[in-house]
Amino acid sequence: MHTTAISTFVTLLLFLVHSYLVPYLTLVDVVPDILLIWIVYLAIRRGQLVSTGAGFVIGLVLDLSSGESGMLGLAALTKSVGGFMAGYFFNENRMLQVLSGYQFIVAVFVTSLLHNVLYFLIFLQGSGMGWWDTFLRYAVPTSLYTALLALLPMFIFSRKYVS
Amino acid sequence: MRRLLDTALTYKEYLLLTVCVLLSIFLLAAQDSPQIRRIRSITVVSIGFLQDAFGFVPNYFDLREENRVLREQNVTLSEELSRLREAAMENARLRKMLELKEVGRYEYVSANVVGKNFQLLRNAITIDVGDEEGVAANMPVITHAGLVGKIMVTSSRYAVAQTLFHTEMRTSAKVQRGRADGILVWEGGASLKLKNVAKTLDVQVGDEVVTSEYSSIFPPGIPIGVVSKTHEITGDLFQTIEVTPRADLYRLEEVFVVTQVPDTSRVAVEQRASQ
């Protein structure tokens, strides 16, 4: 109960960070996905079930707050699949090693890449934009940038738990 | 029954994923139903309230830069005001001479950007005005620099606007000098693309791009951006024109909503014609 309350509070806090600080981190038009980093963290810390559910709820709130009429459910779908995928990195016995090591970065990158592939597969349906071009132009840089940003929590964990 | 429950518990992760995926697909399919609109409205109010409450955080960091920009703008605007007064007087004289009718001006509602929703290729902002201030869907959103986008959804106190950096945004635009009309779209990157402009039309780098009279949503003449690149592809009838927006769409803080309601009969007839 206590852990769930803290997770909910952190999620709300990250929504605010997503709204206010992430636009300042935008490189050209590549936006890091800090909420996905949080979903991967939840997956490693609390398992596939929690990360899938959290992915769905976070995605749904993102969809609803975007105010769009055409793509409601897209972020919910991609983030719940992302959460499910990230759940494969869950290992109860090596939780802290994963969070404080390169595995966390790999988990964020792989999850983000899969998330973006699924996102663009649906989002670009019926549009004139090329899937491959968009994938190279957005999906890969976004995943790299998100993974780069995941270095920050990784270093915090490595200082806190490994030393 | 017990066995079924055991199986469900064994595969609970897969079951949850299936439920989440099915719900998402249902939402994607349900699109614009009244129930979804209601939930969306509640979410916009809640998120808008939270973003509004914590809005002081980035503003504090930006205050110094904002002051500098405002001082610069103040000087420029004072100078411009003086010139405009002269121009208005001259305009009034000329209109009288030509006996032209006074052109109706638009009304604006100022708003603060309380949230930015930058997702992959779907950029939107949340502003702190809504139904109570007379803001409605499809109203244009501008800054002192130029066009920002249009209102998508409103609630009583907040509204969400789609910016020009959104792949679903289509704007009828015109190159001011050469009078070439086209459709402005965004396909990623830091610039917009003006499409459907014939190769024979004269468009040069540095030309100003404004909203055109063909738009059923935007009033004509709102500055959008400047032509930053033009190139032609052999065998293509049209030229490719890149436009850099005047408004900094990633650093928006205050905007204005033009409370012009689109001509619904025009929108309806255009939609029917395009079907």
3-state SS string for B126-139: EECCCHHHCCCCCC
Q: What is the DSSP string of B14-59?
A: HHHHHHHHHHHHHHHHH-S-HHHHHHHHHHHHHHHHHHHHTTHHHH
Question: Does residue A81 register a pLDDT over 90?
Answer: yes
Residue A83 has pLDDT above 80, yes or no: yes
Q: Most B CBs within 10 Å: which of A72, A120, A121, as the mutation test of the B interface?
A: A72
Partners of residue A53 in chain B, C-beta under 8 Å: 16, 20
Cα A115 to Cα A142, B12, B98, B254, distances in angstroms: 11, 21, 62, 33
Report phi then psi at A126, rounded to 5: 80, -5
Query: CA neighbours within 13 Å on the CB side: how many for A8?
Result: 5
Comparison of pLDDT for B17 and A67, the residue scoring more: B17
Q: For B58-69, how does the pLDDT look when each residue is reduced to its tens digit (9 = 90+)?
A: 566 667 677 777
- B172 compared with A28, residue with greater pLDDT: B172
DSSP class per residue in A20-82: HTHHHH-BTTB---HHHHHHHHHHHHH-HHHHHHHHHHHHHHHHHHHT-SS-TTHHHHHHHHH
Distance in angstroms (rounded) separating the CA atoms of residues B115 and B231: 36
Q: Which of A48, A138, A55, A104 is nearest to B119 (CA)?
A: A138
Q: Where does the pLDDT of residue A42 fall: very low under 50, low under 70, confident under 90, or very high at 90 and above? A: very high
The answer, yes or no, to whether residue A137 has pLDDT greater than 90, is no
Ordered DSSP codes for B87-149: HHHHHHHHHHHHTPPPPPPPPEEEEEEEEEEEETTEEEEEES--GGGT--TT-EEE-SSSEEE
Q: Which of A16-30, A102-116, B147-161 is predicted with the least confidence, judged by mean pLDDT?
A: A16-30
A72 → closest Cβ in B12, B28, B126: B28
Considering chain B, what is the average pLDDT of its residues? 79
CB–CB of A20 and B21 under 8 A? no
Distance between CA atoms of A13 and A6, rounded to whole angstroms? Answer: 10
Bridge-based pairing of strands B171-175 and B180-185 is: antiparallel
Packing angle, helices A74-86 and B12-30, rounded to 10: 160
The residues pairing with B243 across neighbouring beta strands, listed in sequence order, are B192, B227
The confidence score (pLDDT) of residue B103 equals: 47
- Interface membership of B121 toward A (CB under 8 Å): yes
Instruction: Specify the pLDDT at position B89.
Output: 75
Q: What type of residue sits at position A27?
A: L
Sign of the C-alpha dihedral computed for residues B217, B117, B62 and A24 taken in this order: negative
Which one of A34, A58, A62, A66 makes the best mutation probe of the B interface by having the most chain B beta carbons within 10 Å?
A66
Round to whole Å and give the CA distance between B48 and B28: 23
- Domains assigned to chain B: 2-53 (no CATH), 107-261 (2.40.10.340)
Distance from CA of B209 to the nearest CA of A (A): 22
- 3-class SS of residue B217: coil
E strand or H helix at B209: strand B208-211
Residues A69, B33 contacting (CB under 8 angstroms): no
Strand B108-119 vs strand B122-127: parallel, antiparallel, or unpaired?
antiparallel
> Quick check: A62 and A141 in contact, CB under 8 A?
no
DSSP-derived letter for residue B214 is T
Question: For A77-81, B11-15, B73-77, which range has the lowest pLDDT when averaged over its residues?
Answer: B73-77
B16 pLDDT exceeds 70? yes
- Look up the pTM and report it: 0.62
Percent of chain B with pLDDT over 70: 80
Contacts of A70 in chain B (CB under 8 A): 31, 168
Question: ipTM of this predicted complex?
Answer: 0.84
Unique residue bearing structure tokens 């679903």: B168
pLDDT at residue B60, rounded to an integer: 62
Closest Cβ–Cβ partner in A49, A73, A139 for B16: A49
Q: Which residue has the higher pLDDT, A105 or B1?
A: A105
DSSP three-state, residue B219: coil
Percent residues over pLDDT 90 in chain B: 6
pLDDT in tens, B220-247: 888 899 999 888 777 777 888 899 998 8
User: How would you label A125-145 residue by residue, b for 16+ Cβ within 10 Å and e otherwise?
Assistant: eeeebeeeebbebbbebbbeb
Q: Do A15 and B50 touch (CB under 8 A)?
A: yes
The top-scoring range by mean pLDDT among A129-143, B28-42, B146-160 is B146-160
